[in-house]
Amino acid sequence: GCEQNCHNTDGSYYCSCNIGYSLSINGMSCNDVDECSSANGDCDQTCTNEIGSFQCSCYVGYLLNADGFGCDDIDECAGNSGCAHTCVNSAGSYQCTCDIGYALNEDGHTCDDVDECLVANANCAQTCTNLVGSYNCSCIAGYVLNSDLHACDDINECDTLNGGCDHQCTNTIGSFGCSCGDGYRLSTDGLACNDVDECATANGGCDQICTNFPSSFNCSCNVGYVLDIDMSGCNDVNECWRGNGGCEHNCHNAVGSFSCSCLPGFLDNPGGFRCDDIDECLSENGGCEDFCSNTPGTYSCSCSDGYALTTNGHNCTGKFIY
């Protein structure tokens, strides 16, 4: 009547059960033993009772030890477990992480680039450029990136070769400007200074002659004129005021010039200044009937003894009677 094992003894017998079973109180039938109910069947993690036996198993992320009881952590990261970047093993599990500049995708494995420039321009003072896994800051023309790699410092272009300016260089925030000294005009290239020809416009304001110089000009006058105190107008010079203009006799001032003339009885010297006496006696004896005597600037007639000069100063009349 034993359910499993029957053992004969002198004058009697007894029943026993296989491992995993216990003998019922009727001494004949066998009941399954739930090994898991006592100390979890010595299983590290999960104990599953079976008819006549039991089995240990492990949670996800663990592997059953060779003794059938213990559970060893599975290092999923040994094969990187499909993580795009870094696999971090933990007890019974693992986690994928991403390098700086990336964010973990919802799939828990892929790493997506983070566009740092979308948030506060990544603290770049001016230009933020997103890169795969990173970003960089840069500056517009006229600025240089600070050593903190975010701020932009103004470049003083005037410190290097005067900014390329011919004359004055003036630094401004993010730029610079060239300017020129008096008498010069800034070229279209914004750097060179070209001389202004003041004489090209309204003759520089000069009455007569305008002479251009680098950065300046001056006015002057033709012969016969003198420059006015305003340094632009020209006034006639009265050459006759000083030394009679060099004329021996008469000096006649004219606008911008003068001329000399001689008194009666004198002839203009070819030089135009001196006067040469005219010897009137050389031409028809000066109109004298008898004697002609030349003097500077004039002449006189006289008569032979016994004759007298008439009132016309030229003819002689009868002899005197003694």
Can you tell me which residue has the tokens 């011919």?
166
- Residues spanned by the domain of 317: 279-322
pLDDT in the model for residue 319: 61
115 located within any domain? no
DSSP 108: S
Domain contains 163: yes
* Region class of 215: left (phi > 0), else alpha (psi between -120 and 50), else beta: left
Give pLDDT tens digits for 101-147: 999 999 999 999 999 999 999 999 999 999 999 999 999 999 999 99
Q: Which CATH number goes with the domain that contains 283?
A: 2.10.25.10
| pLDDT, tens digit (0-9, with 9 covering 90-100), for 138-184 | 999 999 999 999 999 999 999 999 999 999 999 999 999 999 999 99
Based on the number of CB atoms within 10 Å of its own CB, is 37 exposed (0-12), middle (13-18) or buried (19 or more)?
exposed
- Tally of structural domains, the chain: 2
291 is a domain residue: yes
The reported pLDDT for the residue numbered 204 is 95
* Residue 36 forms part of a structural domain: no
pLDDT score at 322: 45
**pLDDT tens, residue by residue, 220-229:** 999 999 999 9
In a domain? residue 234: no
pLDDT, mean over the chain: 94
| Cut 0.75: pTM above it | no
| pLDDT, tens only, 7-38 | 999 999 999 999 999 999 999 999 999 999 99
Q: Per the structure block, which two tokens stand in for 281?
A: 């006696």
Quick check: is 177 in a domain? yes
End of a domain among 147, 173, 196? 196
Report the range of poorest mean pLDDT among 87-101, 133-147, 274-288, 306-320: 306-320
In contact, 97 and 85? CB cutoff 8 Å:
yes
Here the tokens at position 201 are: 């416009």
Burial class (CB in 10 A: 0-12, 13-18, 19+), 116: buried
Residues 226, 234 contacting (CB under 8 angstroms): yes
